[in-house]
Amino acid sequence: MQNLSASLRVGILGGGQLGRMLLQAAANYTVETFVMENDPECPAAHLCHHFIKGDIRNFEDVYNFGKGLYAITIEIENVNAEALEKLETEGVKVFPRPSVLRTIKNKILQKEYYKSFDIPSAAFIVTNNLNELKEQEDFLPAVHKLAEGGYDGRGVQIIKEKLDIEKGFAATSVLEKMVNVHKEIAQMVAINEKGETALYPPVEMVFDPHLNLLDFQICPAELETRILWKVEAIALSVVRNFKSPGIFAVEMFIDRNGDVFVNETAPRVHNSGHHTIEAHYCSQFDMLWRVILGYPLGNAEQILPSIMVNIVGDNGYSGDVKYAGLEDVLKIESAFVHLYGKKQTKPGRKMGHVTIMSRDKQELLHQSNKIKYTLFARS
């Protein structure tokens, strides 16, 4: 009898909310879990079998953590890929493969990856200093992105016109032609070691037009069938060409002509898959465990349409968190509240999320607006 039930030892690099939710899902199986993170009070620290304090960007720390594990995965890209490569050569399974991390961590390599596989993505130019940037006036409007080290909005600068050029980066960067975005979507795709894939329905990001903040995320995205098929084909192409098992969030823009452009790919569980915990048969977290443990892929289909609202630290508040309006949101009958257990809030920090489920889109929009104007992470 194939022993799928052995308690395999699996490590997660990073102990934030994605690690936390991965560990909630892990407890449906028999896996023995390890987490490495510098902060012993991080959201995932208490939910694993073994917490190891360490620096996920440090070669020795990551290598020592991974030695002897059956498999290792990440909840953030900013990890030591060299250590993962060494672990891989020594027989530890790494999800995603370190080669994927190398490609994705460097924005130039990522753009070249899309280009080499004919995956549509905005045209780009590499600049190494501000002088080179100044020569690209005809290429504007564009987005300037640091090749390495950018994260969560940092290292990205919009260069609309000549006057903005001085805001650009002096270091090696990618200058991407700005897409006239009609819709911003993301599609989660899982792929196992046999190359079998499971596609979640794409989600649509809804932004606050004034603040340019992500307000909520609707699943499924409202797309014409011909565009949905294009999106799915592109997402599959992104994921398959990496030649790596794992789960991937492919972020895409759709312009007014219905052309689709890949913006970025995250080779891990992702914010744009949180709604799958309740609204889909197999959550993104369950799906990644199935990939890692060699189980069959799960069913990515939705049970009900959903909206996911991020709870981020409110502007003007830093310190011990209090959730204003929590009681009112807990009263909403179709709402699922997730607080990440972070003790400190600061403006823009991801503190939790709420998923709402309903067959009725107007009801979804009504409730998510209510949540947005009710629930605040303050101090």
Where do contacts with a copy of itself occur on this chain (CB under 8 A)? 1-5, 7, 20-21, 23-24, 27-30, 33, 46-49, 281, 290, 295-296, 298-299, 301, 303-304, 321-324, 326-327, 330-331, 333-334, 336-339, 341, 343, 357, 378
163: which DSSP letter? G
CA distance 197 to 242: 13
Cis-peptide, bond into residue 43, ω within 30° of zero: no
- Cβ proximity of 142 and 180 under 8 Å: no
Task: Please report how close the Cβ of residue 135 comes to a copy of itself at its closest, in angstroms.
Answer: 52
Q: Which is nearer to a copy of itself, 49 or 350 (CB)?
A: 49
For residue 121, what are the β-bridge partners? 262
Residue whose CB is less far from a copy of itself, 69 or 156: 69
**Minimum distance, C-beta of residue 243 to a copy of itself, in the bound complex (Å):** 24
Query: Based on CB atoms, which residue is closest to a copy of itself, 170 or 330?
Result: 330
What stretch of H or E contains 351?
strand 350-357
Q: Which residue has the tokens 């002096």?
A: 170
Query: From the CB of 340, what's the least distance to a copy of itself, in Å?
Result: 9
* Smallest gap from residue 306 Cβ to a copy of itself (A): 11
Q: How far is the CB of 111 from a copy of itself (least distance, A)?
A: 37
Residues near 163 by Cβ (< 8 Å), separated by ≥ 6?
none
Whichever of 7 and 128 has its CB closer to a copy of itself, that residue is: 7
- The residues near 186 (Cβ < 8 Å, ≥ 6 apart) are 202, 203, 205, 217, 249, 250, 251, 252, 270, 272
Q: Which is nearer to a copy of itself, 106 or 306 (CB)?
A: 306
Q: Compute the chain's Rg from CA coordinates.
A: 21
The C-alpha atoms of residue 31 and residue 290 are separated, in whole angstroms, by: 11
In the DSSP assignment, the letter for residue 121 is B
- Minimum gap (Å) between residue 27 Cβ and a copy of itself: 5
The region that residue 334 occupies, defined by phi over 0 for left and psi between -120 and 50 for alpha, beta otherwise, is: alpha
CB 313 within 8 A of CB 347: yes
Instruction: Write down the least CB distance from residue 332 to a copy of itself, Å.
Output: 9
Count CB neighbours of 218 within 10 A.
21
Burial of 26 (0-12, 13-18, 19+ CB in 10 A): buried
CB of 297 to a copy of itself, least distance (A): 9
Q: What is the largest CA-CA distance in the chain?
A: 68
Q: Which of 154/331 has CB closer to a copy of itself? A: 331
CB 265 within 8 A of CB 251: yes
**Shortest Å, Cβ 277 to a copy of itself:** 9
111 CB-near residues (< 8 Å, 6+ apart): 121, 124, 174, 176
Q: Give 20 or 270: the residue with its C-beta nearer to a copy of itself.
A: 20
Alpha-carbon distance 56 to 181, whole Å? 35
Given the complex with a copy of itself, which of 254 and 351 has the nearer CB atom? 351
Complex with a copy of itself: residue 104 or 291, whichever CB lies closer: 291
